[in-house]
Structure 1
Amino acid sequence: MRFYFFYLPIFLFISLSCQRWDYKDPSNPVETLAPETHLSLIALDTIWVAPQVGETGDTTLFYLIDYYDSVYVIIDSMEVTDTTNGDTTYWTYDTSNYLWWGTDLSGEEQGFETISLFDTLAFHTITTSKQELSWWGDDPDGDVVGYYYRWSTDSDWNYTEEEGGIFYVPIRTELDIFSFEIKAVDNDRNEDTSPAKLVLPIKNSPPQISFRYLSNPQIADISSDTSYTFPTRTFIWDLYDQDGNETITDIFYTLNDTCDTCWQRLDSDASSITLTNLDEGLYTIYFKCKDIAGAESKMIQFPDSTNENEAQIWKVKPIIGDVLIVDDYPLDGDNNTLNWFSSKMDTVLGESNYSFWEIGDELPFSATDVSANLNYFKHIIWFTAYNNTAASNDTYNSAEASLVNFIMGGGNLFINPIDFEDTTFTWFPMDSMTTLNPNGRLRSQRVVESAIDSTLDLEVSSLIAVKVKGFWPDESEFETVTELYYMADPQNGDGWTGNPTVCSMGQYKVSPTELSGKVVILTLPLYDGNRSKLDGNGTPLKFFQYLFDEEFIE
């Protein structure tokens, strides 16, 4: 017994000591904590709300549809909260009522319809569908590595490692409530069990439609307030909706009349329309668009009297004959050169049995219209400026693709470029060129000999005071090349050697059995805006008669 009592205190001491210093099994670690998530809203576009607190403590909120400044507003609806019994009443007001900012309407009786517009969890600030949100998370025992978020319209959570973003809420009605939830995820894959949540009243924003910049003719470019077109005209526009362009469902247009049944519908992905077969006359075209919530844009139109830079009249011209004279000489304000060419066509084709097109400084915005204008005709007479200034340029280079297509489609082109530097004409490839008069003077009585018939010889009748060029075509690019005119042997003081070509005709192979139309280029001016330049041996009329009698034939 003495042995037992001696060892008992020692045993108890050792047992208690083991319990005091014992550690938990490492296979059963301490439970980790979930992260917490925080969310904030940056109001990008707020439709204002003005709170008012009455003497009794009642609160009034004004929901606005428009405002002019911080003083003058238009009331759309009002919420009144009675602090006595906690009742909340929603009123809708006549939107024609103009009320001063901050007016307490709690005692007014203008309301005519009781509605419940807003979720009580929502902010009392109505915003647009564009929402910028920021969020962050913290984890007491680890690191936040990402986030899961979803809108009330989403069925699944979306993962991101970003801590903010701009969202376009897919609103489908005039006014709706949306919520956004987000929860942090830590490095142990623990998720916040109480996601941060934001509830937002969203008001639909109407879509916008506008004509593409400079797509309508500018008065400064056409030197007139009237835009003349042939029966084809293309209109190009841009769309924008703050709720996302995908919410735009319809585009509408109408000519001259905006009655309810006059509008024609286009798909929402359309960005242009080409009108064809327009009758002669004056026109105004109107456009508008509509979104999925039924909101319509403001109407736009061409011509538009409020846009002083654009043409104020749009007139469609008829197609006359199968020959088109193209006036590419914008500095010839009195149209002397156009009248000169017209007089020659009056003789060759019959009086006014042709059409003309005054381009101005710029071609139509759409290449479709350029090609359409050319393709209405079989033969084109295209003259350019005698000389250019920094403020004015020929447009034939910009029409290059349309000219090539016209020729390849069987059309015949006579073109008279004078003052040019670019020689890479795809419609008439050159091997090389030379300046005939480096001093800028080509004197009268210089003979321009015909390679076809000496009776067609021409002669410089008055000083040509611009630099002009002779050339050698790149014959490898053509199926046939015919020289029509070349310079006679140089006289004293002339700047050329030999007999450089100044007028040539080419034709391309379109298929094994088909040739293109003919393209004729003349690099000496026929008229300078005041007088004819090649009248020294009979007028150039005989040259045009040759073209239409012998070359430009079916």
Structure 2
Amino acid sequence: MNRPVLINFIRRRYLYLSFIFLLLAGGCTEDVTEVPYVNKPPKTGLFLSPDSVISQQASRLKVNWWGDDSDGLVVGFYFTWDNTNWSFTTRKDSTFSLQIGAADTIYTFRVAAVDDAGNGVFDASVVRNGINLGPEPFEDANGNGVYDAGEVFVDIGAMDPNPVSLPFPIKNSAPVISLNTLTVLPDSSYPVMTFGWNASDIDGDQTISAIELVLNDSTASGNIVSIPGNIRLITLRVQNFAFNTVSAEILLNGLETTIHPVTLPGMQLDAVNRLFVRARDISGATSRYLSIPDAGINWYVKKPKGQFLLFDDYTIIDDAADFYSRTLHTINGSQLSGKFDTWDYNRSKVPFSSVTFPLTLKLFKYVLWYSDTNPSLDLAAGAVKKFNDAGGKILFSMSFPSTFDVSILQGFLPIDSTTNFINFLFPNSQLNPDSTRFSDFPVLTTVGSIPRVRSFYPSTEFARPFYKFASGILPGDIGFTDTADRLYFIGLPLSKCNGTAGTAEQFISKVLFEKFGLTP
């Protein structure tokens, strides 16, 4: 027997037996008038009494209700927020997120209990209190969307004719925004920078419909650009330097594959800039503007002077910086003088370096990267291949610490392995060029003692050696290039390879102007 029918059968049999008992108890001499049974509808209540003072709530709240039936069982509840669309539930509480406008709003919650005095069959349309509640709830066992014989259903009986209701004055909660702690801007950078923030809304983060960006003037409403509300990180990039006031590309999540279709106007080159960010929810309510950097801190955006970057990854205090700067100003008839940029990375580190650094390198076509024995290997491993693949060409003058993971080097250098290091390379050590392919390279002689020197075994397939130590100081090669002439590497500081005056400068000039084809 169907479960709802069985419940009604037991219920009526119980009432019938009770009636017979009363009849017998009254004696056989009295007349009995049969009174037809009339089902009493259930009653409903809320845990908050109707005369309670309801204050403004957050727009995410929990409502509790209950039901009671004096002559049967409560099988569920119908509830509504708009007095039109009613939903069935067997629960006695639920949490609701009420989407509202920026102005205060009053929602009225109505709920009515239903009892078990159904008709024992599935009804495709249930009408109670003049309301069409739709079909009786059922378990759609076969997933076809319609009731089929044998499927379990709730046999709806009487409904509380006076649904309990309670108004809820709701105040919308504006989004909240804060700075991602990794967003620490240097005092100056090139026009590539990554920004991160945190944004949330008590009504649910999904209610944040947009993140709004504006440069330098938060009152310039015409310059505001909206991006999707789920974005928490962007990179701003400028690649056109024809003017001093330019628009920046917006790379969503720092990816070149997801560039926002609208650029952000108002970036000033060779000037101080500031990004303002705020969150807007679906009601139109906005967070405060987040200023990046904060008031009182400057972020100066430098306009690149040309296609060449001198990347200073050197921490030892000596004359290395002067050597490279002087060399670039004077080689090849001073063609590079005033046309190259210097980035002292240890003084101007960028946030989210795995994103910002490769994109910054790609602003340039040629790079000379020099370091001491503690280079930024993580930067090189993450950026050099991308730079080369984009057509960039790079010259390394780089040494390494006593221990490191060779696989990191293999991520950006065409090598199979390295030799063990020697504690010091003595002065006047000689580097001889490969006589078959690089006979025009100068012989280099070291100046002073150089710590922790090792040589390399370049890939026989993807590299070509161009310098070896004389006199068997170390096996392998100390200088090599890739087969595409996009990367040249020497495992010593060139500033200490100028024992014969002018030879280190000559080597740099040959690589940049002859091998790379640099044209300032």
Q: TM-score range by the shorter chain?
A: 0.5 to 0.7
Q: 1:372 aligns with which of 342, 359, 369?
A: 359
2:383 alignment partner, SS class: helix
CA contact (8 A) 1:456 1:543 kept: yes
Q: How does 1:426-441 map to 2 (within 5 A)?
A: 426-437=411-422, 440-441=423-424
Please report how far the alpha carbon of residue 536 of structure 1 lies from its aligned counterpart in structure 2 after TM superposition: 2.7
Whether 1:418 and 2:399 are equivalent positions in the alignment is: yes
In the alignment, which residue of structure 2 is the partner of 1:488?
470
Paired residues of 1:35 and 1:190 also in contact (CA < 8 A): no
Matched residue, 1:461: 447
Whole-angstrom CA distance in 2 between matches of 1:186 and 1:395: 73
Map 1:145-544 to 2 at 5 A.
149-152=79-82, 155-157=85-87, 159=89, 164-181=93-110, 189-190=155-156, 193-194=159-160, 197-217=165-185, 226=187, 228-269=188-229, 270-271=231-232, 272=234, 274-276=236-238, 277=246, 278=267, 279-305=269-295, 312-329=297-314, 331-332=315-316, 336-348=319-331, 349-360=335-346, 362-365=349-352, 367=354, 369-384=356-371, 386-388=372-374, 394-420=375-401, 421-424=404-407, 425-437=410-422, 440-451=423-434, 452-453=438-439, 456-465=442-451, 467-476=452-461, 478=462, 481-490=463-472, 496=474, 499-507=475-483, 518-526=486-494, 532-538=495-501, 539-544=503-508
**Aligned pair partner of 2:54 in 118, 124, 128:** 124
Deviates more, 1:244-253 or 1:482-491: 244-253
Report if the CA contact (8 A) 1:174-1:204 is conserved.
Answer: yes
Distance 2:39 2:459 in 1: 83
Distance across 2 between alignment mates of 1:505 and 1:191:
86
Q: Is this contact kept in 1: 2:414–2:482, CA < 8 A?
A: no
Distance across 1 between alignment mates of 2:356 and 2:369: 17
Given that residues 414 and 520 in structure 1 are in contact (C-alpha distance below 8 angstroms), is that contact kept between their aligned partners in structure 2?
A: yes
- Offset, 1:206: 1.7
1:547 aligns with 2:481: no
C-alpha contact (below 8 Å) 1:150/1:158 kept by paired residues: no
Indicate how the Cα distance of structure 1 residues 260 and 383 shifts in structure 2: closer, same or farther if over 3 A, else same: closer
Compute the TM-score of the two structures, normalised by the length of structure 1: 0.63
* 2:467 aligned partner, one-letter code: Y
Assess, with a 3 A threshold, how the Cα gap between structure 1 residues 335 and 463 changes in structure 2: closer, same or farther: closer
Task: Rate the CA distance shift 1:184–1:433 in 2: closer, same or farther, 3 A.
Answer: farther
Gaps of 5+ in 1: 1-15, 22-29, 42-119, 307-311, 389-393, 509-516, 527-531
Partner deviation per Cα, 1:101-142 (whole Å, 9 max, x = no partner)? xxxxxxxxxxxxxxxxxxx97743111112134566778899
Partner SS, residue 62 of structure 2: strand
CA distance in 1, matches of 2:414, 2:94: 55
Assess, with a 3 A threshold, how the Cα gap between structure 1 residues 123 and 338 changes in structure 2: closer, same or farther: farther
Q: Is the 8 A contact 1:127 1:201 kept in 2?
A: yes
The answer as to whether partners of 1:231 and 1:280 remain within 8 angstroms in 2 is no
Aligned partners of 1:216 and 1:365 also within 8 Å: no
> Residue 397 of structure 1 aligns to a residue in which SS?
helix
Contact 1:122 1:200 in 2 (8 A): no
CA contact (8 A) 1:344 1:541 kept: yes
Change (3 A) 1:33 1:182: same
CA gap 1:455/1:230 in 2 versus in 1, 3 angstroms: closer
Q: Which moved more, 1:180-189 or 1:419-428?
A: 180-189
RMSD: 3.7
Count residues with an aligned counterpart.
Answer: 405
Q: How does 1:18-97 map to 2 (within 5 A)?
A: 39-40=46-47
Q: TM-score, normalised by structure 2?
A: 0.67
Structure 2: distance between partners of 1:475 and 1:159: 73
Deviation per residue, 1:137-169 (Å, 9 max, x gap): 7788998887665444983416476x6554321
How far apart, in 2, do the equivalents of 1:475 and 1:184 lie?
Answer: 82
SS at match of 2:226: strand
The answer to whether the 8 A contact 2:425-2:450 is kept is yes
Residue 551 of structure 1 and its aligned partner are, at CA, apart by 0.7
Distance 2:353 2:194 in 1: 7
Separation in 2 of the partners of 1:233 and 1:153?
52
Q: Is 2:380–2:412's contact at 8 Å kept on the other side of the alignment? A: no
Q: Using a 3 Å threshold, how does the CA distance of structure 1 residues 152 and 542 change in structure 2: closer, same or farther?
A: same
CA 1:345–1:184: 2 relative to 1, 3 Å = farther
| Letter of the 2:279 counterpart | C
Q: For residues 314-361 of structure 1, give each alpha carbon's deviation from its aligned partner in whole angstroms, at most 9, with x where no partner exists.
A: 1111211221011223x45x6853333212211224433211122237
Distance 1:252 1:238 in 2: 13
Structure 2 contact 78–86 (Cα < 8 Å) conserved: no
Give the C-alpha shift of residue 483 in structure 1: 0.7
5+ residue gaps, structure 2: 1-19, 26-36, 117-153, 239-245, 247-266
Measured against aligned partners, the alpha-carbon deviations of 1:201-220 in whole angstroms (never above 9, x if no partner) come to 11111222333331232xxx
Aligned-partner SS, 2:424: coil
One-letter identity of the residue aligned with 1:412:
K
Conservation of the 8 A alpha-carbon contact between 1:183 and 1:192 = no
Q: What is the one-letter code of the residue matched to 1:297? A: S
In the alignment, residue 381 of structure 1 is paired with which amino acid? L
